[in-house]
Chains A and B, each alone.
Chain A
Amino acid sequence: MIWSIAKKEILENIFSYRFSILTVLLALLMAVAVIVGYGDFLLRLENYEVLRPMPNSPNIIIEPTPMSMFAKGLEANLTRLYEVSILGIEIRQNQQLVNRIFSLFTVPDMLFIIKVVLALIAVLFSFDAITHEKEQGTLKLTLSNGIRRSSLVVGKFAGRFVLVFVPFTVLFLLALLTMSLLPSVAVTSSFWWKNLVILLASCVYTLLFTGVGLFVSSIIHRSSTSMVVSLSIWLLFVFIIPNFSTVIAKRLTPVPTSDRIEMETRLNTIQAIYNRIQREKEEPRGMEGVRMIRQLRESTTRITELYRPKMNALMRTTKSLVRISPSGALNVLLTDIANTGLYEEVRAKDAVTQYVERNFNRINELEPGPIELFRYTRASLGEVFSATGYVDVVVILFFATLFIAAAYVRFLIYDPR
């Protein structure tokens, strides 16, 4: 019985205006995401090829990952060139000017399509699942035919879900295949595994928003009202909670601005250089320079060590607040899987800091010896999951179960008149 209802739902909608318009939208966006993501990846790769670590130029730079085509996240940050001076680690501004516009808008990558557009489509396909039939009067007829309410609601749910998720899967796999065949994209087995997990996460995410639409449809009696309420929930989850939580997290966990850190380090350095010159004027000695660099290094390390735990606390607070919404959790999860998220940022900065720690003296010619090459491998899928990923999965699953169960229970006592 469930399947015949699901089949009816699918057949009813597959030739509808709604299905074609939304599928076209999805296809269009995917094409744009692939083209734009690939171009962006190539730019970073080109940059990396110029600056990559060689025995004669031990640059500190991380190789770009093709997963950034799916979720760009902090990839632009991660793949910059880090330079070491007596001041510590500095960043070379190798950004393009157009980046200023980026900071006004969002990146249209696969994560954006899943987080925003797929959720919207799922809501638009399910908000009228029950109300429409009620308005048409067919709900009364169907129920009078002796169909169990539970089969009806499950069938409707399955039908609407398939309508959204099957076209998405086909398009996603097409995009994935295209990306893997493009030149200069190195495909490893982890590439496929990560994308499989992304597909699974999108599946649960689609279930979740289909559940939202169905739930709203089962508590409200008019389609137009149901649409407004579902869209409000979508807006709340997708935009309002994640974006508001960054502001609130910053209020809850104050962190000194990076400008302040920069200033403290800079003034410390100038003072040290100045003092050294004054001392050398009194009694010229050879070792003042080395002593100064050592002292500076100590004070910079102290400032950094005070600052980074605070920064990490801010990241933790932001993550927890963002996870109040399943879309926020999905954002964290997908960027972490793609190795472009906050987890990778902390991990990479730790690696750079440790590398500099080991090689500082040799880079600044305080002691002889070869400088080791900077090597960095991004976190594996397992590491991401055991570190933070499982929380996001739990959050998304929790919301999905919540809305689906609520829709199911609510429909059992629905008044079809």
Chain B
Amino acid sequence: MLWVLVRKELLDNLLNLRFITLCVVAIVLIVSSIVVLTGQYHEELIDYYNRVNTQDAFIDQYGHTNRIGWMSRLFREPSRYQPLVVGIDRDAAQENFLSNPIPVFLSKLDFVAIVSVLMSLVAVLLAHSAITGEREDGILKLMLSSSLPRTTIVLGKFIGGVITLIVPFTLGVLLGLSYIAVAAGVELRSLDYGVFAILLLISYLYMTAFYALGLFFSARSRTSNVAVLKSLFAWVVLVLVLPNISPFLAAQIYRIPSVAKIQRETNKIESDDRDEIIGKRLQQIVQMTFPDFATIRSMTKSDLQKKLDSDPVFRDRYAQFQRAFEELVRDVNTEQRRIADAIRESFENQSHHQELLATVLASLSPLSNFVFAATDAADVGLQSDAEWAAQSGEYDRVLSEYVNQRYAETRQRNPAFDFNDYLDLRGRPRFQFQPPPLAMRLERILVPAGVLAMFNLLFFAGAFLSFLRYDVR
């Protein structure tokens, strides 16, 4: 019986002109955004290889020990999934004076944006009249009078609606993916298929959550007009409001000082305060152990030199004093740096907490969970920086070890060789970013995907319970 109902729903929807139009629009959009973004990916990839080669050639020709860190700055390869998931736009970080400001101004229309805004709206619009519409037409009364259980009806509606939503969507996505694979000539690896599958699955989870939401409001309303208003209100709150305000709310709730303030504070600790402490302690040392040096500061340089030359006892004592002074400076420097480091570290922790709070606040909306899961699966999300930092940091260490070794070797052969001289580094290890494996990506998206599943459960349970008590007259 359930399948008869599912079939009815399917036919109802597929023969509906509204629905067909929306699906065609969605498919055209998905495919065209994939095509355009693939073109952009190619361009960026060429530029990336070009840059890597230029820099490599430069190091081959001008490599020297002193500026090796500055010379070999690692570039991030454009993400392979950029045609689908733009994620955190590197341009938007605006690291240079000449950075392109447009990504900050308007976001890009990628697969994630299309699913999160357009497909969720389609799902809500498809579902809003599922129950109210049948009541208005009087069909619901007839169905229930033929002793169909309510459970079967609501399940049939859910499954039928979800299939109508998913099938054309999947066709569109597959069309776009085959463009990436065939026409665009991007060589696909097994990891890529895994990522594509994850993206599809979380899109399904996301769309079904909104379908269940629409069904819920349909089961809570008497007429379709009211149901659509309620669903749209919920859609606006969940899609347009909650995710967008969460980072700002987090910044307000969990206030952290500005970076400029922290920098000023640490600067003060490491220079002004340091000088003051050194001055004080020096005075103490002079009073305690070198009372005879109390007036040494007021001595002119030539007098001091004369005395040093003429008096060997004084000379020894002066050397002792100098050593004590150097030790003092070193100790105070370490101490002050420790204090400043503690401040910097606590600031880092605070900003991580702030980001965490923003993520948690945003998780109240299915959209954010979908975006987090999609960007993390494609390794262009909030968690992508850590992996990059680890691998690039490791490479920097390996490279500097290699350079130091080469330097020591060359210097052994030629004692006059210094760190500004050309050093042959052609045999250096090269950097290759290892993208996180599928298992790691799955682990990352576990929480957001789980929350999405919870939303599904919650909304569907709401729809189910409401329909059980629905007045069909």
Residues of A within 8 A of B (CB): 17-18, 21-22, 25, 28-29, 32, 35-36, 39-40, 43, 46-47, 50-51, 73-74, 76-77, 80-82, 88-91, 93-108, 112, 116-117, 120, 124, 128, 223-225, 227-229, 231-232, 235, 239-240, 242-251, 254-263, 266-267, 270-271, 273-274, 277-278, 304, 307-308, 311, 314-315, 318, 322, 328, 331, 335, 341-342, 345, 349, 352
Output the nearest chain A residue to B263 by Cβ-Cβ distance: A94
Q: In the complex, A250 Cα to B252 Cα: how many Å?
A: 35
- Pairwise interchain contact A240-B29, C-beta atoms closer than 8 A: yes
Q: In the complex, A102 Cα to B243 Cα: how many Å?
A: 10
Contact with A along B48-85 (1 / 0, CB 8 A): 00110011001000101001001101010000000000
Interface residue? B233 (CB, 8 A):
yes
The answer to whether A342 and B98 touch (CB under 8 A), given A117-B240, A260-B51, A274-B62, is no
- Pairwise interchain contact A247-B243, C-beta atoms closer than 8 A: no
- Pairwise interchain contact B22-A273, C-beta atoms closer than 8 A: no
Give the residue of A25, A223, A240, A249 whose beta carbon is less than 8 angstroms from that of B236.
A25
The answer to whether A50 and B260 touch (CB under 8 A), given A98-B358, A248-B36, is yes
**Given A100-B385, A112-B240, list of 15 further CB < 8 A pairs?**
A40-B251, A47-B258, A50-B260, A50-B261, A74-B105, A94-B258, A94-B263, A105-B246, A108-B244, A128-B225, A242-B106, A246-B105, A250-B40, A251-B39, A318-B102
Interface residue? B150 (CB, 8 A):
no
CB interface residues, B 350-380, toward A, < 8 Å: 351-352, 354-355, 358-359, 362, 368, 371-372, 375
Interface residue? B334 (CB, 8 A):
no
Output the nearest chain A residue to B372 by Cβ-Cβ distance: A104
Give the residue of B44, B54, B375, B385 whose beta carbon is less than 8 angstroms from that of A104.
B375
- Pairwise interchain contact B101-A243, C-beta atoms closer than 8 A: no
The answer to whether A246 and B258 touch (CB under 8 A), given A36-B252, A91-B96, A262-B96, is no
CB interface residues, B 87-113, toward A, < 8 Å: 87-109, 113
Give the residue of A21, A259, A274, A345 whose beta carbon is less than 8 angstroms from that of B51.
A259
CB distance from B53 to the nearest CB of A (A): 11
- Pairwise interchain contact A39-B260, C-beta atoms closer than 8 A: no
- Pairwise interchain contact B97-A88, C-beta atoms closer than 8 A: yes
Interface residue? B228 (CB, 8 A):
yes
Interface residue? B343 (CB, 8 A):
no
Give the residue of B91, B224, B232, B260 whose beta carbon is less than 8 angstroms from that of A47.
B260
Sorted from nearest, which 9 A-B pairs have the closest CB atoms?
Answer: A243-B109, A97-B351, A36-B248, A94-B259, A50-B260, A108-B244, A101-B247, A39-B252, A47-B258
The answer to whether A266 and B70 touch (CB under 8 A), given A105-B243, A335-B105, is yes
- Pairwise interchain contact B58-A103, C-beta atoms closer than 8 A: no
Q: Which residues of A contact B22 (CB under 8 A)?
A: 228, 232
Q: In the complex, A331 Cα to B105 Cα: how many Å?
A: 9
CB distance from A8 to the nearest CB of B (A): 19
Give the residue of B70, B96, B358 whose beta carbon is less than 8 angstroms from that of A261.
B96
Q: In the complex, A245 Cα to B33 Cα: how many Å?
A: 11
Find the residue from B96, B129, B375 having the highest chain A CB count within 10 A: B96
Q: In the complex, A43 Cα to B351 Cα: how many Å?
A: 14
CB interface residues, B 199-247, toward A, < 8 Å: 224-226, 228-230, 232-233, 236-237, 240-241, 243-247
Q: In the complex, A124 Cα to B95 Cα: how many Å?
A: 42
Output the nearest chain A residue to B113 by Cβ-Cβ distance: A243
- Pairwise interchain contact A228-B54, C-beta atoms closer than 8 A: no
The answer to whether A274 and B104 touch (CB under 8 A), given A263-B51, A304-B98, is no
Sample 23 A-B pairs with CB under 8 A, ordered by A number: A35-B252, A39-B248, A76-B104, A81-B260, A91-B96, A95-B259, A100-B355, A108-B244, A124-B229, A223-B225, A224-B228, A227-B228, A228-B125, A243-B108, A247-B108, A248-B36, A250-B40, A250-B102, A251-B39, A270-B58, A274-B67, A307-B98, A314-B102
The answer to whether A17 and B226 touch (CB under 8 A), given A102-B247, A235-B117, A247-B33, is yes
Total interface residues in chain B, CB < 8 Å: 100
Q: In the complex, A393 Cα to B228 Cα: how many Å?
A: 33
- Pairwise interchain contact A43-B258, C-beta atoms closer than 8 A: yes
Q: In the complex, A36 Cα to B246 Cα: how many Å?
A: 10
- Pairwise interchain contact A258-B245, C-beta atoms closer than 8 A: no
Output the nearest chain A residue to B249 by Cβ-Cβ distance: A36
Q: In the complex, A314 Cα to B98 Cα: how many Å?
A: 13
Interface residue? B256 (CB, 8 A):
yes
Q: In the complex, A134 Cα to B228 Cα: how many Å?
A: 19
Q: Which residues of A contact B230 (CB under 8 A)?
A: 21
The answer to whether A246 and B106 touch (CB under 8 A), given A32-B241, A108-B241, A258-B98, is yes
Output the nearest chain B residue to A75 by Cβ-Cβ distance: B104
CB distance from A114 to the nearest CB of B (A): 13
Q: In the complex, A335 Cα to B104 Cα: how many Å?
A: 12
- Pairwise interchain contact A243-B351, C-beta atoms closer than 8 A: no
- Pairwise interchain contact A50-B54, C-beta atoms closer than 8 A: no
Q: In the complex, A107 Cα to B240 Cα: how many Å?
A: 10
CB distance from B56 to the nearest CB of A (A): 11
Q: In the complex, A80 Cα to B371 Cα: how many Å?
A: 28
Interface residue? B319 (CB, 8 A):
no
Residues of B within 8 A of A (CB): 17-18, 21-22, 25, 29, 32-33, 36-37, 39-40, 43-44, 47, 50-51, 54-55, 58, 62, 64, 67, 70-71, 73, 75, 87-109, 113, 117-118, 121, 125, 129, 224-226, 228-230, 232-233, 236-237, 240-241, 243-252, 256, 258-261, 263-264, 351-352, 354-355, 358-359, 362, 368, 371-372, 375, 381-382, 385, 420
Q: In the complex, A22 Cα to B237 Cα: how many Å?
A: 11
- Pairwise interchain contact A91-B97, C-beta atoms closer than 8 A: yes
Q: In the complex, A90 Cα to B94 Cα: how many Å?
A: 11
Q: Which residues of A contact B93 (CB under 8 A)?
A: 95, 103
CB distance from B68 to the nearest CB of A (A): 10
Q: In the complex, A231 Cα to B371 Cα: how many Å?
A: 23
CB distance from A133 to the nearest CB of B (A): 14
- Pairwise interchain contact A258-B104, C-beta atoms closer than 8 A: no
Give the residue of B129, B252, B420 whose beta carbon is less than 8 angstroms from that of A224.
B129
- Pairwise interchain contact A21-B64, C-beta atoms closer than 8 A: no
Q: In the complex, A94 Cα to B358 Cα: how many Å?
A: 19
The answer to whether A98 and B102 touch (CB under 8 A), given A36-B245, A232-B25, is no
Q: In the complex, A299 Cα to B425 Cα: how many Å?
A: 27
- Pairwise interchain contact A231-B125, C-beta atoms closer than 8 A: yes
Q: Which residues of A contact B100 (CB under 8 A)?
A: 255, 258, 311, 314
Q: Which residues of A contact B256 (CB under 8 A)?
A: 96
- Pairwise interchain contact B260-A97, C-beta atoms closer than 8 A: no
CB distance from B250 to the nearest CB of A (A): 6
- Pairwise interchain contact B62-A270, C-beta atoms closer than 8 A: yes
Q: Which residues of B contact A245 (CB under 8 A)?
A: 106
- Pairwise interchain contact B97-A243, C-beta atoms closer than 8 A: no
Output the nearest chain B residue to A225 by Cβ-Cβ distance: B18
The answer to whether A235 and B121 touch (CB under 8 A), given A40-B251, A77-B101, is yes
Q: Which residues of A contact B264 (CB under 8 A)?
A: 50
CB distance from B350 to the nearest CB of A (A): 9
Q: In the complex, A35 Cα to B262 Cα: how many Å?
A: 25
Q: In the complex, A120 Cα to B92 Cα: how many Å?
A: 28
- Pairwise interchain contact B251-A270, C-beta atoms closer than 8 A: no
Q: Which residues of A contact B47 (CB under 8 A)?
A: 256-257, 259-260
- Pairwise interchain contact B44-A257, C-beta atoms closer than 8 A: yes
Q: Which residues of A contact B259 (CB under 8 A)?
A: 47, 93-96
- Pairwise interchain contact A46-B229, C-beta atoms closer than 8 A: no
Q: Which residues of A contact B245 (CB under 8 A)?
A: 32, 36, 108
- Pairwise interchain contact B101-A74, C-beta atoms closer than 8 A: yes
- Pairwise interchain contact B101-A98, C-beta atoms closer than 8 A: no
- Pairwise interchain contact B109-A261, C-beta atoms closer than 8 A: no
Q: In the complex, A117 Cα to B260 Cα: how many Å?
A: 36
Q: Which residues of A contact B233 (CB under 8 A)?
A: 21-22, 25
Find the residue from B22, B89, B247, B372 having the highest chain A CB count within 10 A: B247
Output the nearest chain A residue to B71 by Cβ-Cβ distance: A270
Q: Which residues of A contact B249 (CB under 8 A)?
A: 36
The answer to whether A98 and B351 touch (CB under 8 A), given A108-B248, A254-B43, A260-B47, is yes
